[in-house]
Chain A
């Protein structure tokens, strides 16, 4: 039978606020256990929540970015269940009145086409703490530093039809929230986590099949792989005439398989009700419009502009617009050099190579975008040749200079990279090279005229060796002239 895959994603994105959603404790990652869990986060008797205005602003910003309806009245509910990383015995979330209603994003498929995926809703909620299972013998240790970190949970419609689409959707969401600056997007620290709902149905059938939920997948690659193996698993069962159990599963990346989480003894009954310690959050059009004015250019718009206004290919544009920081780096350099094409080549080649070599992000790169811009300017006015430019750039990457744009010129001087284009000076160098390489000259002259082009190679090398910054084009012309004078 031919099966159709149905995938919906729930993405949890930690909002990049300084303090928690309902308390003044820091949200910084990596602190010692429970040093950033205040009385509110610990759920001590008598404490009360107060809502963080920045979490609200960020959620609204997200809503506007995905063209969603913004909830002018949103309400926090309590979701009741017992778990040691949930200090109050309930999670404060939004059930019936989320801050963000129906919206959508477009994802790019391999064939270059785009597909629109609808987002059912996005709501604000608090993150839970962490249970640590190693190092405490027969016990688990509970660290509540993460408890109360603001999350926006983004729920998609079940509209994705392949693991690839799901991964593209996750990537796109990552790109949007990082562009907006509302999430640091650091998957390795759990800043974005993804629950994947997967089901299969016979092609043509309208009714959904039974779904499973793969919890907490935390990389683009794993989303794709986890869904792929889950599709295979479900298909095997269905092809054998079996049926799927609705359950929560975990993806084991090492074994590349999903496995069932131990089912709870009692069926969950979350007993949602409006949190009486918090009041309805009311916002008006003025608030929404003020947030709208702070929206940056989003990845789609940027991509289109790169192609339309700056003549980049769609592939180049997609790569350069995929991350806000990379796009910013690229645009700063391109703007300084007034040459998008040249900047695009450099960012995709030398900059990317440096980032990969050092395993750092573009914001950590020692060579600034302004410096790259200056280098590009110097290439264009023939002050630097390509090789010299690479040398300067790599020197900057290694931390040479003082970070300023001005330091580049002195760096070029001290490295002796300044390109020599003066014909007289080059003639003198060439004369010396020819005089010192009589054997080469002889063999050159013995070469048939039609093959002499290639035989000029060694002279070029020798000339550039003798003076690093020589302009290769001028060297070529001078050599041609001098050699032809010899016969």
Chain B
């Protein structure tokens, strides 16, 4: 049962093959058995899940079911869930029982989905390996010595390990696409503004975007149908028509032009990975797409710009974590500054503190122009690169990551090495474009375990339907998305 996709479960529930309570119970049991190893969940809400499943079954019996009624899924622990711990994987919020639901969460609740719980992540979504979680690292189901990627590592590992068919996630610099690539699943980051950020705990407000983690593009389309909504509570959420993303999955891709940015196919990429990516692109050519080399000349500035913008925004966004109204508070504060400094010093992990400090520094008097303003200007240069490129091509493709999943502990002592992990994903967030990673091959790791390779598809603004269409067509022609870690299949 655990190998079923969202689309299959929806069909099975409709056909009465099994009930929502049955599949929910079966996945809860599986989580209980396997997640000790992966640590992908921070909170499992078994009781609530079963209650939701029961309600869904009743709704179906009453003839009021829709596509999502009774379908199980789980949320990244960055989305506020009313009455349920929402920790953002931080000690700071380790006692924060959210008093309200994120819009994304209410969308799924209203659609009748069953939430199994809250998924592990890098603390406040800052990281590329899921090693900064207060609740411990997550293991990559393909090789438990390796990281699942981050920050949405729990979402990726849970989907890859078949603990849930789909999960919500967020992406600020690659936090959906990189772990999707590392875990061999399909991850979609929509256009900035497509999905409401209300109740999604902010890391960097102008970069954060909620998205999907599933095994197939079809399931991503189903999830996005629920997630995407216009939300008057989020000023940055866009009021624009939302198509039925499943309606165009089977469109022909004949005649589409795929752009290959030369800056993303660098010599230092492993030959094996390059080959896998090029083979995948050849698959699209077989389906009638054309390929064109393009240039995104400011690519090398994306990481530097990101590491000003994101820390600057996070330094302010995390100021509300002060031990006064919620969250961790130090023992016996002597005065107000002591309360702030110790609560925050104790509540935040190292990486979070580093980024807050970088941000505070970049914004401080005398440095604003050199850092923040310059980064915002570079940001426009990067966006302009894409705008120019999309005059010539319909979609851009590249590897999602420069290398497959690395070993736990390998990069923890060198923050900058960790940052470079996001080299292919980060520019999209700066530009606000949609991106998707789909599994497109495998490379053999030392010790013999195969490790998945991700293909990144970059779309023009609000062109999610095209990405999903391309992903689905690829997945009709290939079976990389059906590959599972050896002991889980």
Given contacts A45-B88, A89-B316, contact A271 B322 (CB under 8 A): no
Q: Are A48 and B234 in contact (CB under 8 A)?
A: yes
Residue in B closest to A83 when the chains form the complex, CB atoms: B336
Selecting from B178-186, B199-207, B240-248, B281-289, the interface stretch reads B199-207
Partner of A46, one of B198, B236, B318, B325: B198
Closest chain B residue, CB of each to CB of A267: B365
Given contacts A46-B202, A82-B322, A273 and B372 within 8 Å (CB-CB): yes
Which residue of chain B is the closest to A22 with respect to CB atoms?
A: B235
Contact status of A276 and B313, CB under 8 A, knowing A46-B202, A48-B198: yes
Asked whether B465 is an interface residue with its Cβ less than 8 Å from the other chain, the reply is no
**Residues A279 and B360 in contact, CB atoms below 8 Å apart:** no
Contacts of A88 in B (CB 8 A): 316, 319-320
Q: Which of A8-16, A36-44, A422-430 contacts B (4 or more CB under 8 A)?
A: A36-44
* Residue contact A278 to B235, C-beta cutoff 8 Å: yes
Question: Looking at the complex, which one of A44, A50, A272, A273 makes contact with B99 (CB distance below 8 Å)?
Answer: A44
Closest to A50 in B: B235
Q: How distant is the Cα of A241 from the Cα of B368 in the complex, in angstroms? A: 39
Contact with B along A361-404 (1 / 0, CB 8 A): 00000000000000000000000000000000000000000000
The residues of A that contact B96 with a CB separation of less than 8 Å are 45
Residues of A within 8 A of B234 (CB): 48, 50
User: Is A472 engaged at the interface, CB distance under 8 Å to the other chain?
Assistant: no
Quick check: A80 and B233 within 8 Å, CB to CB?
A: no
- Residue B429 lies at the interface, judged by CB distance under 8 Å to chain A: no
Expressed in whole angstroms, the minimum distance between the Cβ of A462 and any Cβ of chain B is 77
Chain B residues whose C-beta falls within 8 Å of the C-beta of A253 in the assembled complex: none
A82–B339 alpha-carbon span in the complex (Å): 11
Query: How far, in whole Å, are A87 and B318 apart by their CA atoms in the complex?
Result: 11
What residues of chain B lie closer than 8 Å to A90, measured between beta carbons? 316, 319
Interfacial chain A residues near B99, Cβ < 8 Å: 39, 44
Contact between chains at A46 and B199 (CB < 8 Å): yes
Q: A228 to B19, alpha carbons, bound, how many Å?
A: 81
Complex Cα–Cα for A42 and B98 (A): 13
Within 8 A of B (CB), among A56-98: 78, 80, 82, 84, 87-90
Report if A293 contacts B (CB, 8 A): no
A434 vs B365: C-alpha distance in the bound complex, in angstroms? 94
A441 at the interface (CB under 8 A from B): no
* Cα–Cα distance between A52 and B225 once the two chains are bound (Å): 30
A81's closest neighbor in chain B, by CB?
A: B319
Is A47 an interface residue, CB under 8 A from the partner? yes
A271 x B364 contact (CB < 8 A)? yes
* In the complex, B456 has a CB within 8 A of chain A: no
The answer to whether A48 and B364 touch across the interface, beta carbons within 8 angstroms, is no
Which residues of B from 287 to 342 have beta carbons under 8 Å from A?
312-313, 315-316, 318-322, 324-327, 336-337, 340
Contact status A273-B233, CB under 8 Å: no
B316 touches A80 (CB 8 A): yes
Chain B residues near A265: list those with CB within 8 A.
Answer: 337
Least distance between A168 CB and chain B CB atoms (Å): 36
Distance, CA A150 to CA B102, complexed state (A): 26
Whether A277 and B235, one on each chain, are in contact in the complex, defined by CB atoms closer than 8 angstroms, is: yes
A237-289 CB contacts (< 8 Å) to partner B: 265, 269, 271-273, 276-279
Kindly report which residue of chain B lies nearest to residue A271, judged by CB atoms.
B363
Q: Which residue of A43, A271, A273, A279 is within 8 Å of B320 (Cβ)?
A: A43
Tell me if B472 is interfacial: C-beta within 8 Å of chain A. Answer: no
A49 within 8 A of B: yes
Q: B residues 63-80 with Cβ under 8 Å of A?
A: 79-80
Closest to B196 in A: A48
Residues of B within 8 A of A49 (CB): 235
Asked if B232 is at the interface (CB within 8 A of a chain A CB), the reply is yes
Q: How far is the CA of A43 from the CA of B327 in the complex (A)?
A: 12
**Cα–Cα, bound, A265→B335 (Å):** 13
How far apart are the CA atoms of A43 and B198 in the complex, in Å?
12
- B100 at the A/B interface (Cβ < 8 Å)? yes
Per a CB cutoff under 8 Å, which of A46, A48, A80, A87 touches B363? A80
- B86 located at the interface, meaning its Cβ lies under 8 Å from any Cβ of chain A in the complex: yes
Interface pair B202/A42, CB less than 8 Å apart: no
A43 touches B325 (CB 8 A): yes
Q: Which residues of A contact B198 (CB under 8 A)?
A: 46-48
Which residues of B lie under 8 Å from residue A45 when comparing CB positions? 80, 86, 88, 93, 96, 98, 201-202, 320-321, 326-327
Note all chain B residues with C-beta closer than 8 A to A50.
232-235
For chain B residues 95-125, which have a beta carbon within 8 Å of chain A? 96, 98-100, 102
Residue of A nearest to B320 (CB): A43
Residue B197 is within 8 A (CB to CB) of chain A in the complex: yes
Q: Do residues A46 and B319 form an inter-chain contact, with CB atoms below 8 A?
A: no
Q: With a CB–CB cut-off of 8 A, which chain B residues contact A87? A: 320, 324-325
- What is the bound-complex CA distance between A46 and B340, given in angstroms? 20
- Residues in B with CB closer than 8 Å to A279 are 235-236
A51 within 8 A of B: yes
Q: Is A142 an interface residue (CB 8 A)?
A: yes
Bound-complex Cα distance A45 to B203 (A): 10
The CA-CA distance from A3 to B24 in the complex, in Å, is: 82
The smallest beta-carbon distance between B395 and chain A, in angstroms, is: 28
The complex places the Cα of A343 from the Cα of B232 at a distance, in Å, of 51
Q: CA A18 – CA B372 in complex, angstroms? A: 36
Residue among A49, A84, A273 with most chain B CB within 10 A = A273
Rounded to whole angstroms, the CA-CA distance of A50 and B232 in the bound complex is 8
Bound complex: CA of A428 vs CA of B288, how far in Å?
119
Question: Is B235 a contact partner of A44 (Cβ separation < 8 A)?
Answer: no
In angstroms, Cα B234 to Cα A318, docked, is: 48
Q: With A46-B102, A89-B322 in contact, is A276–B205 under 8 Å at CB?
A: yes
Q: Which of A44, A82, A269, A273 meets B319, CB within 8 Å?
A: A82
CA distance A384 to B39 in the complex (A): 92
Residues of A with C-beta under 8 A to B100: 39, 44
Whole-angstrom CA separation of A49 from B236 in the bound complex: 10
Complex interface: chain A residues within 8 A of B205 (CB) = 276-277
Specify which of B99, B100, B312, B322 lies most central, judged by the most chain A CB atoms within 10 Å of its CB.
Answer: B322
Q: What distance in Å separates the Cβ of A132 from its nearest Cβ neighbour in chain B?
A: 14
Can you name the residue of chain A whose Cβ is closest to the Cβ of B202?
A46
* Interchain CA distance A271-B312 in the complex, whole Å: 9
Min CB–CB distance A34 → chain B (angstroms): 9
Query: Which of B80, B102, B204, B365 makes the CB contact (< 8 A) with A276?
Result: B204
Contacts of A80 in B (CB 8 A): 315-316, 319, 360, 363
How far, in whole Å, are A50 and B197 apart by their CA atoms in the complex?
12
A457 CA / B363 CA spacing, docked (Å) = 85
> In the complex, are the beta carbons of B336 and A48 less than 8 A apart?
no
| CB proximity to A under 8 Å, residues B331-377 | 336-337, 340, 360, 363-365, 368, 372
Distance A42 CA – B325 CA, assembled complex (angstroms): 8
Which residues A297-335 have CB closer than 8 A to chain B? none
CA distance A49 to B198 in the complex (A): 9
Which residue on A lies nearest to B366, using beta carbons? A269
CB B165 to nearest CB in A, in angstroms, measures 25
- Point out the residues of chain A lying under 8 angstroms from B79, CB to CB: 46
Min CB distance B211 to A, Å, is 17
- Shortest CB-to-CB span from B121 to chain A, Å, is 14
List the A side residues contacting B319 at CB < 8 Å: 80, 82, 88-90
Question: In the complex the two chains form, what is the Cα distance from A272 to B202 in whole Å?
Answer: 18
A46 contacts B322, C-beta separation under 8 Å = no
Residue of B80, B86, B236, B324 near A142 (CB, 8 A) is B324
Nearest B residue (CB) for A43: B320
Central interface residue in A48, A50, A142, A279, by most chain B CB within 10 Å: A48
Query: A: which residues have CB within 8 A of B?
Result: 39, 42-51, 78, 80, 82, 84, 87-90, 142, 265, 269, 271-273, 276-279
Complex A-B: 5 CB contacts under 8 Å: A45-B93, A45-B201, A80-B319, A82-B319, A88-B320
Question: Knowing that A43-B320, A265-B337 are A-B contacts, what are 15 other residue pairs whose CB atoms are under 8 Å apart, sorted by A's residue number?
Answer: A44-B326, A45-B93, A45-B201, A46-B198, A48-B233, A48-B235, A50-B234, A80-B319, A80-B360, A84-B336, A142-B324, A271-B315, A273-B368, A273-B372, A276-B204
User: Nearest 8 CB-CB pairs, A to B?
Assistant: A89-B319, A276-B205, A271-B363, A276-B206, A43-B320, A46-B199, A45-B201, A46-B201
